[in-house]
Structure 1
Amino acid sequence: MSEGLDRRAVVAALLAGRHDLLVVTGLGSASYDVAACGDRVENFYLWGAMGGAAMVGLGLALAQPERRVLVVTGDGEMLMGLGALATIAVAGARNLAIVVLDNRRYGETGAQPSHTAHGVNLAAIAKGCGWENTSTIADEPGLDQLARAIHRDGPLFAVIRIAPGEKPRVLPPRDGAFLAQRFRAGLGLAEP
């Protein structure tokens, strides 16, 4: 039995039909994987904001209710921001999906086992916080179903079991001011 799906292939499958999907990434590999699928003005990469991706996604979903927002983050970052799951469930943003790439490691600090390696179930935590649509994906059919579901109405929280290991880094822009300005311009809120 494999340890999980290939992270880069997972993100590529999720973003294959993204059209005008707004994407917020967590630190490290989530950003590299989204950038590997093509850098776009609709991508908002977080640098130095550990634990903040889900809440940034909520703020964006509330500010842009006509657009679908996808947060792609890792298990380490989601573990750091567990309180966000309750806040997001209460807010009820129907246009928000959060996908956690769970390799059961703290990848950015040396691949130490994360709490999910010791049985912490992020999907169950989200369910306990009030999320109605939660899932844990560990195979290709589940991934295919999720790739379609992230574009539908309703809040969604999914954990995808991915294999540990590094992929070649595809570094998106790292200048926070530039990224914020570019993203705002892409939304028609500021000059490029």
Structure 2
Amino acid sequence: MIRSEILKEIAPILRDELVVCNIGIPSQELHAIDDQPTNFYMLGTMGLASSIGFGLALAQDKLVISIDGDGSVLTNLGTLPTIGNNMPSNYILMIIDNGSYGSTGDQPTYAGMRTDLAAMAKAAGCENVIEVQDVDTGAKLQEVIDSGKGTVMVVKCDSGNAKMPVITMDPVIIRDRFMKAVAS
């Protein structure tokens, strides 16, 4: 499976949750598959979906799911110890590990080579870390949500992007409707 197929599978599970989605094509894919006011689409700032989602989870009680990529997490490894030492029960970091920088041409990441992101998250202090095969993502995500435990999920999948339109929604609109969803 490629990332867009995973997103299509988990979209019904995400519908009622606050979601911070990774920069570029992942945000375009989620937006095209199931646009929701509870989705915050990153249009810039590579590597910060995990940090933004984590901060949001600390600031309020609703469940927050950050959908990040292996390449983005590798650009902001400092977030893993911060999450590991302060993990709230209402936060799930889902790292979709396709072994490539999907938004810039599928160049390989080190996670697609020898770097093990699940082991790195554990070493950073994250207690609940699971590695999931793409086909098991929906069931495992629901299990994690039902557990009520802050968790890092590393979802292994194939590299590749679906052809999706660019998000034309103004970033201010994305922000404002997401803030209303957080407040409601």
- Report the equivalent of 2:24: 28
Bigger Cα displacement from structure 2, 161-170 vs 39-48: 161-170
Establish whether residue 186 from structure 1 lines up as the match of residue 181 from structure 2: yes
Supply the AA of the counterpart residue of 2:53.
G
Please state how far the C-alpha of 1:174 moved relative to its aligned partner. 4.8
- Contact map agreement 2:28 2:164 (CA 8 A) in 1: yes
> Structure 1: how far apart are the matches of 2:170 and 2:81?
31
2:5 to 6, 9, 13: 9
User: Counterparts in 2 of 1:32-71, with a 5 A limit?
Assistant: 32-65=28-61, 67-71=62-66
Supply the AA of the counterpart residue of 2:86.
A
- Contact map agreement 1:70 1:150 (CA 8 A) in 2: no
Question: Which whole-Å deviations, capped at 9, do the CAs of 1:105-126 have from their partners, x for residues lacking one?
Answer: 1122222111112210111100
> Structure 1: how far apart are the matches of 2:32 and 2:173?
19
Please state how far the C-alpha of 1:19 moved relative to its aligned partner. 4.3
Give the unaligned 5+ runs of structure 2: none
- Report the equivalent of 1:148: 142
Supply the AA of the counterpart residue of 2:87.
G
Q: How many aligned positions are there?
A: 183
Supply the AA of the counterpart residue of 1:148.
Q
Identity score, percent: 31
Task: Looking at secondary structure, tell me which structure has more helix per residue.
Answer: 2
Establish whether residue 122 from structure 1 lines up as the match of residue 111 from structure 2: no
- Report the equivalent of 1:98: 93
- Contact map agreement 1:47 1:174 (CA 8 A) in 2: no
1:72 to 43, 67, 82: 67
- What is the TM-score with the length of structure 1 in the denominator? 0.87
Please state how far the C-alpha of 1:26 moved relative to its aligned partner. 0.8
- Contact map agreement 1:86 1:130 (CA 8 A) in 2: yes
Supply the AA of the counterpart residue of 2:145.
H
Give the unaligned 5+ runs of structure 1: none
Change (3 A) 1:149 1:36: farther
Establish whether residue 168 from structure 1 lines up as the match of residue 163 from structure 2: yes
Change (3 A) 1:144 1:19: closer
Please state how far the C-alpha of 1:180 moved relative to its aligned partner. 1.3
Please state how far the C-alpha of 1:47 moved relative to its aligned partner. 1.4
- Give secondary structure in 2 for the equivalent of 1:169: coil
- Give secondary structure in 1 for the equivalent of 2:14: coil
